[in-house]
Structure 1
Amino acid sequence: MSAPERIPPRSVTTAELLAKGELKVRGRIREASNAVLYCSVSYEGRDAFCVYKPVAGEQPLWDFPDGNLARREVAAYEVSQATGWGLVPTTVLRDGPYGEGMCQLWIEAAPDAELLALVDAEEPAEGWKAIGFAEVGEGKTALLVHADDARLRKLAVLDAVINNADRKGGHLLPGGEGRLYGIDHGVTFNTENKLRTLLWGWAGESLTDEALSVLAGLRDALAPGAPLATRLAELVTAAELDATRARVEAMLASGKHPEPGGEWPAIPWPPV
């Protein structure tokens, strides 16, 4: 008689691990304005590190609803996934040691990756894009530049779609195998134009064919009743969902990266 077939153990997805695993707080990231807890998470034999941001630790903002930043972080991840670019680490909404909050996979940034620089020049060198001039002390200024990197360009498109009001340099995480991630998406999806970013290097330039194809796919995915639209309706307001659709349509109509609007500071502070 033959031996019974052995069924291999089920593979736990990263989303399952973050949503269902046991969270243990290991420390706090002090630089953040809101409560950001560094945790370990374990579930069915799989372990990882993650960031847990409890709603209870969010600081009130005048232009965003109280207790809503965690949901916007999840909404940004959902849109990122819909683009197929995977620019936001896996992010879920769950209950934790301090109540409901956002839980996101921890990304170890590559220490030698150079995406931003201050240069003593009037124009950026080849392979770089100008952001603007910054004061560096003693009455001197330097040109702030970012890499002319296809991964950053995709992130600039995503930020325009989700209306990211806080794309700082510290929110760019080059990961392994050439990956790039963006983090900290709590101040997104506002109905007003609040795009503040360091990634203005392509402002006014034509979108790539790939970006236009992705935006066309997002337009379909955001149609009423489509899965992405249904999911976002659980995380942001109806007006904010309509504004997201309008931003996608505007980018498709213009075929260009957006430019600073002037009614809101274009670069976040501090920039890094």
Structure 2
Amino acid sequence: MTQSSRDRTPAGDGPVVSPRDTETAERLLSLGRLTVEGRLVQASNATLYCSIEWEGLTAACVYKPVAGERPLWDFPDGTLAEREVAAYAVSETMGLRVVPPTVHRDGPYGPGMVQLWVEPDPEVDLVALSRSEDEAIRRMAVFDAVVNNADRKIGHLLPVSDGHVYGCDHGVCFSAEYKLRTVLWQWRGQRLTTEAVEALRRVDKALRNGPLRETLLRLLTAEEVEATVRRVELMLKHKIHPFPPEDWPAIPWPPM
């Protein structure tokens, strides 16, 4: 069974869990019964659209089993699911909440990443949004710089009706080498906002002495965690958005 990326609604008759209710969403994603409804055929790795139910709560979610990950030349095999969970942990610590609730758990096809489905507002022009100076997009650009996102495409932006923007597909983040590749370069070299600096200070503290460090060390290599610390240090030191890398393609292809 296959489905397009725009024709899905949550299955089930129970109350639907909001991505803003992270505590409830994490419990549902961790403990709920997963039922595979279809497959996102445009994804390069096995990406399954599922319904999930637990104690009367219901939601739609994405399940990416490790067994369905395609090997990459520049990332260790079988690590993409952990990187998605790490990205969620960083987003929450920063207080930006740009990644939908995400957990690592066992599923019908083995262990993998399970993320709450966020239905984007169909009225939003994603290309125009990605080129805009919307503050929600600027938060995403700051987050991507912290996690060293090597694949921020336009189609990975999930704007919702209240103006908030979520992002998905963070499996190729946290490389120890600088590999930031994104469609969101409009602030390169510009001063960071006060909000961004405060978010960076939160994540800096948590990376040094807080539970985030322990969480990331379970999901990433020690070298990758230390590289994350250094990226945050540099952003706090210079207080500007980073510039594109000189030895790495700056924009993903295709950009959508």
Give the TM-score taking structure 1 as reference length: 0.84
| Structure 2 residue 183 is the aligned partner of structure 1 residue 187 | no
2:162 aligned counterpart, secondary structure: helix
**Deviation at residue 191 of structure 1 after TM alignment:** 0.3
| Structure 2 residue 67 is the aligned partner of structure 1 residue 56 | yes
Deviating runs (4+, > 4 A) in structure 1? none
| Structure 2 residue 240 is the aligned partner of structure 1 residue 259 | no
Q: How many Å separate the matches in 1 of 2:184 and 2:218?
A: 29
One-letter amino acid matched to 2:39: R
One-letter amino acid matched to 1:230: E
2:144 aligned counterpart, secondary structure: helix
My pick for the range that moved more, 71-80 or 214-223, is 214-223
Stretches of structure 1 lacking an aligned partner (at least 5 in a row)? 1-10, 118-127, 129-144
Which of 36, 43, 46 is 1:25 aligned to?
36
Report if the CA contact (8 A) 1:191-1:239 is conserved.
Answer: yes
| Structure 2 residue 211 is the aligned partner of structure 1 residue 227 | yes
| Structure 2 residue 182 is the aligned partner of structure 1 residue 197 | yes
| Structure 2 residue 139 is the aligned partner of structure 1 residue 154 | yes
**Deviation at residue 177 of structure 1 after TM alignment:** 2.1
- In the TM superposition, 1:68-107 aligns within 5 A as 68-107=79-118
**Deviation at residue 216 of structure 1 after TM alignment:** 1.1
The structure with the largest strand share of the pair is 1
**Deviation at residue 209 of structure 1 after TM alignment:** 1.0
Q: How many Å separate the matches in 1 of 2:47 and 2:196?
A: 32
Identity %: 57
In structure 2, the residue matched to 1:4 is none
One-letter amino acid matched to 1:153: R
The size of the alignment, in residue pairs, is 235
The C-alpha deviation readout for 1:68-117, integer Å capped at 9, x for no partner, is 00000000000000011110000000000000000000011101112424
In structure 1, the residue matched to 2:221 is 237
Based on CA coordinates, which of the two structures has the bigger radius of gyration?
A: 1
Q: How many Å separate the matches in 2 of 1:214 and 1:65?
A: 29
In structure 2, the residue matched to 1:215 is 200
Q: How many Å separate the matches in 1 of 2:59 and 2:236?
A: 39
Which of 50, 53, 61 is 1:39 aligned to?
50
Q: How many Å separate the matches in 2 of 1:176 and 1:95?
A: 32
In structure 2, the residue matched to 1:268 is 252
Q: How many Å separate the matches in 2 of 1:266 and 1:178?
A: 27
Report if the CA contact (8 A) 1:115-1:147 is conserved.
Answer: no
Q: How many Å separate the matches in 2 of 1:174 and 1:152?
A: 9
Stretches of structure 2 lacking an aligned partner (at least 5 in a row)? 1-20
